[in-house]
Every structure is written in C-alpha cells, then in structure tokens.
Amino acid sequence: MRLWTSGLAITAVLAAGQAVAWEPTEGMPYAGETVRVLAVTSSQFQAHEARVGAFEEATGIDVVIDYVPFANMREALTAEMIAGGGDYDVVSIMDQWVVSLRNLLQPIDEGVAAQGTDLSDFPAAHMRHGMIDGALYGLPVRGHVQLLFYRTDLLEAAGVEPPQTWDDVLTVSAAVQANSDVAGIALPYGRLNGQNLMVWINMLWGNGGDLFDDAGAPIFNSEAGVAATQAYIDMLIEHQVAPAGSAVFVEQDAVNSFKQGNSAMLPVWWWVRSQLTDPEQSTITDDQLGFAALPTVGGAARTTFTNTWIFGVTEGSENPDAAIEYLGWLTDPELERDVLLDPELNELVAVHLSNMRDPEVNARWGGIHSAAADALETAEGVEFGEDWLRIVEVLETTISSLASGEQTDVQAALDAAAEEIARIRG
C-alpha cells in the first residue's frame, strides 16, 4: 500500500486515497492499550461513542472519551499543548484553531495510509484544515456548510421561486413582505465570534474579492469588497428586508426569527435544520421548510463558508498506533452512514461525499445532503493563521458599526480595518 510523505500537497493527498472501508489491523496488535479522547460536546460524537463497543471488541483497544463544552474547548486544548501533552491520545480541534495548536499534534500521513482511509471521499473544503505545510495532521469528522432555508408556503403565496442570486433575494423578500407581515430574510449583523462575517464572506467571494492576497495582505477593501459589504448592509438599511433590530442580531437571533415565523428566509449552517421544525422550539412544519445552496452573485460560482472539526493524534500520545487505529474507525464512512440513518437519532452532519450523494441518506433527510455536496463542489476556503481571532474581531466590529449606522462610509470603514489588520499581521 502506498504511504504518503509529509511533503505532499493537499491535491496529491486527495488523489491518492483508495476506497477501502476500515478493517481492524490483523492480529489485534494493540490489544490492552487505551486511547484517551478529548472531544467537544456534540450529540454526533456521543452517537459514535455509543457504537465504540464494536471497535473495542474488534481491536482489544479501550476507548475513554472526555467531553468539553465548546466555550471551554480551546482553553482545554491549549492547556494540553502547554503541558506537553500525554493526557490524551486523540483530540478534536476546530479549523480556526488548528495552526495555533499545531505543536499539540503529530503528522499522521503514513498511519492513515496504512489504515486504507479513502481521503478522496472528503471534500477538499474540509480536508484542507487537517493539512499544515503539506503534512496531514488531522481528518475531518464533523463539518458544516451554509444553506439557504426558506418558507415554501410564504414564497408560494407571494408567487415567487426560491432565489438563485442575491439580487433575487431582494425580489423575493419584497414580494413576501408585500403579501404578509413577515420580513424577507433573517441576517446576523451583531458581534459574536465573527458570526456576522459568515454570509458577508460568501458575498465577498461572489463579487470576485477575497480577504487577503497571496502575500497575506488585506484586500477586502477592494472594489469587490466594497460592493459586497454595501450589498450586505443595504439589505438591512436601504432595502429593509431584514427584521427590525437586526443590527444587533447574532446567529441565534436570526435563527429564532425564522423559527418564530418572523422571517421567510435564513442563510445558516446546515446542522440548524434539526431545530427548524422541532415542535418544541419552532412554529415551522416539515412541509413549510425548503432549502437550497446559498444564492450567488450574478453568474458566479456558488460558495459556502465552511466549519470543520478535525481529529488528530497528539504529539505526546503514549499509544499513537492504537490512536491511529481508532481514527481509522472513527472516519469510516459506514460509521457515519449508520448514524445518519438511525431512526432514533436526529443527526444529519456528514463529511463523506459518498454519504452526501447516498440516495437512502437523501431520502431520509429530504435531499439536504445532496444540496450540501453541491455547495462544497465550489466552496472556497479561508487560511486560518495564528492571528485569525484578532482579525475576526476587527472585521466583525467593522460590519457591526456599519449595520448600526455608527459608520456610514463603507470604503473608509474597510480601509481602516485593512490598515489595522495589516499592523496585526506585521
């Protein structure tokens, strides 16, 4: 079996995967060893844990999992890195933290290759976050795309089709608002962990812009960046298709507006789907909920900002080979599919293209996985450096100040943000 070396680029790694389902290493060479896992609290990961007995029986490896709430996860990972590791063998890390925590992880190229993991089954938009300087440090296990959710009944009553472009969003919103007392689209403009950037970045890409050039210099204050930002702010201020009070909306506020029947459309992460028709927290029924890939800017390619959780093996692991064995099982598409199709669960998150295109999976979930796969085909990526969290603070403050009216000149606001970020990047 071919072994990948640490110098391979992501394209080579993705092309090298062989479609082989996970099988335990013959002879149970790691029997009696323990793999200790540090994972963010997630019902998806708990569904994996409920099935881990089969792995333990097949390998003789014991698995012990500790869960940490999202709000405390980065701190826990940082403490593990500073302490030199050793408490855990496998850890889950969100994409934005990977580079700053790289010293916590060890390259896993050869071990993953020996497991026969089909790396080509992972979308590049998710796979890229486990790569650092051409080496593989982690595999995606949980990944999110953004979709546009909409009220089928409200659009039908207004005589309009789901929007294909952001200009269409304005047309559809106006028609819905003329036919009802419901706002066109729920959007987040308030500050909280960069949530007001996640739609804006798609509009930036769609206008042909980007955050940084190849040298890392800010370019979001370009003509394309100004056009994207103006369009995003205008949905609230000029066109007034977003709900009143949206200037301080964070993501959950936008979600709640949609669930409560106060907005007709909502661009948000796909995992939110399970809440949107939950009768305990939403007024919307399954028959009233539609979804599609995010609108485009004119005829540009579709984009989606992504969120990815990778699992990697710690540098201080006492049982790295057993940890790789566990990682091979954890990233088996059959395990993911079993969770997706479990009638007792409401878990839709998938990172395997084979599952996203699976007819049975799509039949259960109404085609949402196919829509996600479509979005991922042309998904752009963000290179998250060690200074990303400081960059987010500058950008989300700029968007918030424009939405609130504290600043009114988009070009001047973006220029000031670009100058500040250039200083941060040195």
Q: What is the pTM of this model?
A: 0.88
Q: Is the pLDDT of residue 299 over 90?
A: no
Residue 20 and residue 130 in one domain? yes
Residue 373 included in any domain: no
State the pLDDT at residue 59. Answer: 98
Q: How many domains does the chain have?
A: 2
Residue 173 and residue 155 in one domain? yes
Residue 154 and residue 278 in one domain? yes
Residue 181 CB neighbours (<10 A): 8
Identify the bridge partners of residue 39 per DSSP, sorted by sequence position: 67
Alpha helices in 83-142 (DSSP H): 109-115, 124-127
Residue 274 and residue 359 in one domain? no
CATH code where residue 252 lies:
3.40.190.10
Residue 376 included in any domain: no
Edge-to-edge strands of the sheet including 139-144?
A: 62-68, 34-40, 90-94, 307-313, 139-144
Q: Angle 208-386-85 (CA atoms, 0-180°, nearest 5)?
A: 140
State the pLDDT at residue 12. Answer: 37
Residue 62 and residue 110 in one domain? yes
Domain boundary among 363, 378, 411: 363
Residue 57 included in any domain: yes
Residue 170 and residue 27 in one domain? no
Q: Which domain holds residue 359?
A: 10-143+307-363
Each residue's pLDDT tens digit, 319-371: 999 999 999 999 999 999 999 999 999 999 999 999 999 999 999 999 999 99
Each residue's pLDDT tens digit, 58-115: 999 999 999 999 999 999 999 999 988 789 999 999 999 999 999 999 999 999 998 8
Nearest to 314 by CA among 62, 146, 70, 83: 83
Residue 110 and residue 173 in one domain? no
Residue 372 included in any domain: no
Are 261 and 283 a contacting pair, CB within 8 Å? yes
Domain boundary among 317, 348, 363: 363
Are 196 and 233 a contacting pair, CB within 8 Å? no
Residue 126 and residue 159 in one domain? no
Residue 153 and residue 277 in one domain? yes
Residue 232 and residue 330 in one domain? no
Residue 23 included in any domain: yes
Residue 75 and residue 90 in one domain? yes
Residue 266 included in any domain: yes
Residue 417 included in any domain: yes
